[in-house]
Every structure is written in structure tokens, then in C-alpha cells.
Amino acid sequence: MLPVRMFFALSILLFSQIGFTVTVPDDETLLQSLLEQAKDFDELKPEREQREASIHIARSLLLSHYRKQDIDKSLSDKVYDNYLSSLDPQKLYFLASDIEEFEPYRYRLHGALKTGQLEPGFKIYNRYQERYIESLTKKIAFIEDHFDSLNFDLDEYILADRKDQPWAKSQQELDDVWRKRIKSAALSLKLAGKTVEEAKDTLLKRYRNQLKRSLQARSEDAFQAYMNAFTTVYDPHTTYFSPRTSENFNINMSLSLEGIGAVLQSENEFTKVVRLVTGGPAETQSTLKAADRIVGVAQGVDGEMVNVIGWRLDEVVDLIRGPKKSVVRLEVIPAEATLDTDTKTLKIVRDKVKLEDQAASKSVLELERNGAKKTVGVISIPTFYADFSAMQSGDPNYKSTTRDVVKLLKELQEETELDGLVIDLRGNGGGSLDEANQLTGLFIEKGPTVQIRGANDRVETMTDPDPQLVYGGPLIVLVDRLSASASEIFAGAIQDYGRGIIMGSQTFGKGTVQSVRPLNHGQLKITQAKFYRISGASTQHKGVIPDIVIPETVDRKKVGEDSLEHALTWDAIEAAAYTNQNAVSPFTQQLITRHQQRFEQDPEYKLLLEEIGLLEEQRKKKKVTLNKTKRMLEDEAFEAAQLNIVNKRRKLEGKEPFKDIEAWEEYLEAEANKGSTEPEPDFVVKEGAEVLLDLIELQTQVAAKSAA
């Protein structure tokens, strides 16, 4: 017979996906049951299969990983710090005395990992569980007994980030940190319009759910946490998947096919949004953004919010997934939030993301230059896709990025006389390497497109498979921080060939290749190769640096390969044999000068800089007040500044300004409910077209002088 706590957990996970209501005991009865269980929580112990898997993982990393790194004392030091940081990143649970007790492990883990001795990892995890459960029971007791006496008139502050703080020397010191965190969460709820009783009830449910989840921890949780502290010191994309997680390995595919359309990853105790799938429900229906962290999931419009802090990624995915047209609500910490107690709730109607919703699309810009009408085509590519099942079944009309772009180019060329072409790769997180190779081939006659170096140092070069030049005219490629992997390969090749201008912001920098290896227990996703541009420069870590830089609002400290611990470094190999067409570099500085002169006068660019400045100020905050009046004034000032920027944009568009923040939020919700609409070309696309016309003008002037 299942233990009571396990039965309720399984019921909630299963029925949440099909919309049934689960009958559970009342909150007080369940809470008392949880508190009783917390007193008798058993320590977790390693299993034989896990010991064997540890040995296999160590051997695979040592022999097959791209990064040549011995499993020695130096690596033990990194694993130790990585493990503590992954379990307690904000130093909220462990005491200095715990760390002192663990310190002898710092230079001993390497031998234990190679021989399947998992006791050190389990001992640390069990202590973490003990401290975590103890803190939750204390928080629950504090809220029940002292919540009403919280004084929001005092001049107290809470640190926005504690990761660089020393470990607490006493339990009393940690208790005071937690008192302030509870106070901060309560203040956020009060300012959001909750009554004292509602705020108290919300926090009790939040901590009760966390306690319930912590009491369900099993041996596999400890093993997976420990192994990933080991694997990720090789690089952040090398990951151990438990047998349960292996079933959900393709998280991106699972969510994008029927769910919210978001790529998620675990980041310490949180579930972080990596990027949104173009055309997916999250992108079209909500304000969910990259680097937001999901802390709660609720079913339907009024289902209870289940706190998912500390949950495994596969468990969070199970809650988010569900039938098409059903509603899921997410409680998220916005990327721009100063504190992890500041959250907002988003409603998303689950749906299936169809291939055509992510397909390349076209539009046309009409501009005037020196009294003459100019036409620039725009092709937006959300991802590098290919319908492999249709291809394998012999369907002659199967969809792929390259085939669709060829079709769109022909349509543009038939509809009008193109002066230039903009390829928009902003937000394109990559996809099929073969498609990136073939797409590059549309814009060059022949030659290499990308180099791939394996762990054995052997270099493979991919080349243009088709000598046909589909488009040889003026070209600009737009990129941003979320352009990654295949996008970087394409943009890098266009830049190296001097075939076109790259404009936007520095790209993500994901230049590694992973493969999945089965283990006796679970799977290992391991980095085995690295991408290099034809110039020899890696796309890893640095990504692609645009010829013309346009700043953006994304926080580079939170999004991008260089924001990840232990990411492989940038380096270079020998260049491939190719010919730079030199069509852009002679004019780059003049193009930058003209662009800057235009942008200095562009009101939309000024608003972009204003918005970036506002977000940067918010990110710089080291501490946040717990005084109600001061916090309210700070929040109101930030919201007023946001609304001011929004209304300035609306004025530029000839629209009525919003009278207050509530009117803006109501508008956003109404727009989200409408679903996907064809977006208008933004000012960056329009500026791209202007830069293209500058290039054509400069090239024409040089040609005229040469002819004379």
C-alpha cells in the first residue's frame, strides 16, 4: 500500500493532466500530517544501480567528453563547490558548521566518483534535506503564530542576492533571514491587493506544498543532483537523466507539441524559461519571457497553485502539459524582478504548435531613397526545421526551412523587383544543422559552411550541397541574444564570406554538440563536439558579433552561453578553404556612421535605450526595503516609468495612451486572448532595410568611380 503522502502526490500529478478534481483532506489536517511526517523523515541511501551508473558516467566523461579534464583533486574541488551551489545557491539552509564538516570532501570526491562510492554526495544531500524540512516547519509555525504581528513600518531591508554572503554561523542568524523573506513575500502579496488573511493563506499553502514535495524525495533525487554537480563541471549541457527523466528527455518537443510551447531547464531550485517556441501559446497568449522562473503551476482558471520550487524538471513538465484547449496558470518570477518573492501569474490556454506556425514567412517593405521607390523583402525564420517524417515517407512537398525560403524568395522576386533582402533570425534558437548548411548554400555559389571538431580533434567540414545561387543580391541578417546554434552557423558563414551585413546584438554562443548515451541506470547527455566557423573561430561562448550592434532589453548576465557556469571557452582552429567576397567590409565603418546618425534621431530607438536604462537600474539593486510605504513608492515609480515608455510608443503609433497600469494589463490580457496575429515589421527591421540601401548606394558610388 502506498504511503498517504505518496498517494496524494501521484493523484495530483495524474489527474492534473486530464482536468479531474482530486479530493484531498482539508488544509489543516494535511498540514498536521505533513508536520508529523517531517519528524520521522528517513535518510536517503544509494542503490546498487546508482553506484554502477556513477562508474559508467565517470568513465564516459573521462574518455569521451570534448573537454579533456582529469578526474582528480582539482575536479573534486569544482564538483564540491558546484554541488553546494546547486543545493543551496542563496545560502539559506546550510550552516557554517555544516560546511566545516563537509570540507574534508573537497579534495576527496574524485576517487569516490570513479569507484561508485556515493556516500559523500548522499550525506550532503541528507543534511540539506534535514535543514530544508526544518526551515519549512519553522516558517509554517512562524506564519501561524506571528504573521499578524509583522511590522511593515520598520526600516528593514532584504538582500536581493545572497550567493556571495558567508554561510550563516547560527540557526538564529538563518531564522532572521527567513523572517525577512517571509515578510518580503507577505509585503508583495499585500501590495498586490491581498488581505492579511489571504496573504497568510497563500504563504501557508506555498510552504505546505514545498514541505509535501520535500517529504517525497527519494534516492534518485539525491543521485541525480549529485551526478549533475559532477557532469556540469565538464560543461553545462552535459547532464545525467534519471530513468524517469529519460522518458521525458525531449522536453522541448513534449512541450511544443501539446502544452505551452516553451523550452525549460532546471536552474538550482527553479524551473527557468530558456526560450519560447515561435507561434506557441506562451508566445502568443502571455508575457512569459526568457529567463523568467516558474515557481507555481495551477490547473484551470481557479485551480490551486502548486508550488514547484525544488521540483525535478520532469515533474514540472508533467504539471504544465495537458489537453489542448485546457487552461494552465503559471506563477513566475519575472526576469527583471529584484527579489524571488516578487511574482506574477499568467494564464495560458494549452495548444498544439503546428509546423506551419513555426514556418518561415515573408513581407515587403516599401521605402524611399533619393526620390526613388525602393523595395526590400523580409523573410523571418523562427527556427531551422524539417518535417522528417514526411521526408522519410517520400512526400515530395515536405516542409523544411530551406525549401520554404526558396519558395518565398521566388514569390518575392515574381511579385516585385527586389532591391535587397532582410533575413530575420531574432529569437531563432536553432534546430536542424543540415538546414543551416543548406540555407547558407542559397546565398553562396559553393564552399564550406561550418566546421565540426570532435573530442578526438578530428575536424569535419560541411559544404554547400547545391552549387545553385538562389539569391545573390544585397543581404542583411538580423540576430539577437536568443539567436543560437544553427542561427549562429548561418549568420557566421554569411559574415565570413562577406556575403551580407550582420545586425543586432551578440548571439547566444551555443557552439557545442551533444549526444545521448544509455547507461545501466538512466542516460547521459554528453558534449562530444564543437562548432567552428569557416574562418576558424568558434561560435561557442562568444557567438556572432554583429557588424552593426543594436542593444536589447534581454539581461545578458542571465541569458547566453557566457552566463553559464563551466561553459566551454572560445577558441579557434585553422580556417577552411573559402573566398571572402569582400562585399561589406570596405563599407562597414560608413554603414555604422550612417546608421548611428539615423538612430540618434529615431524616437523608437530612444525609447529602447530608455527601457534598457530602466531595467538596468532595477537589476543593480542590491537590497530591497521591507517598509510598506517605501516599497509601495518604489514599485509605483517603476510601474509609472514602464507605463510612460509604453504610452510614448503608443503615441508614436497614433494610439490612445493607457490611463493607468491596470488598463495596460487589461489590454495585454485581451491581446493574449486573441492569439497569434501577423506582426508588423518593427523599427529594427525597417532600419535593416535602410542599412541595406546605404550599402547599395555606397557600392554604386565605388562602381561608378571604377568605371570612370
361-369 vs 372-380, strand pairing mode? antiparallel
Q: Can you say how many angstroms the Cα of residue 364 is from the centroid of all Cα atoms in its chain? A: 31
The CA distance from 81 to 85, in Å, is 6
The closest alpha carbon to 661, from 639, 641, 646, belongs to 639
Residues annotated as part of the active site:
485, 496, 510
Cell numbers linked to 96: 557554517
Cell numbers linked to 560: 547566453
Burial grade of 378 (CB within 10 A; 0-12, 13-18, 19 or more): buried
Q: Using alpha carbons only, give the angle 287, 481, 256 rounded to the nearest 5 degrees.
A: 50
Q: In DSSP terms, which residues pair with 454 in a beta bridge?
A: 529
Residue reference for cell 566557423:
533
Residue reference for cell 517605501:
630
The closest alpha carbon to 573, from 532, 527, 529, 530, belongs to 532
Segments in 21-158 forming alpha helices (H): 27-39, 48-64, 73-87, 96-102, 109-114, 119-146
**What is the C-alpha R_g of the chain?**
27
In sequence order, what are the residues at sequence separation of 6 or more whose Cβ sits closer than 8 angstroms to the Cβ of residue 514? Answer: 237, 238, 525, 526, 527, 528
Q: Which helix (H) or strand (E) holds 65?
A: none
Phi, psi at 55, each rounded to 5° = -65, -45
The CA distance from 505 to 498, in Å, is 18
Q: In DSSP terms, which residues pair with 526 in a beta bridge?
A: 515
Looking at this protein, which amino acid is placed at residue 274? V
The CA distance from 698 to 708, in Å, is 16
13 sits in the region (left: phi over 0; alpha: psi -120 to 50; else beta) called: alpha
The CA distance from 464 to 449, in Å, is 6
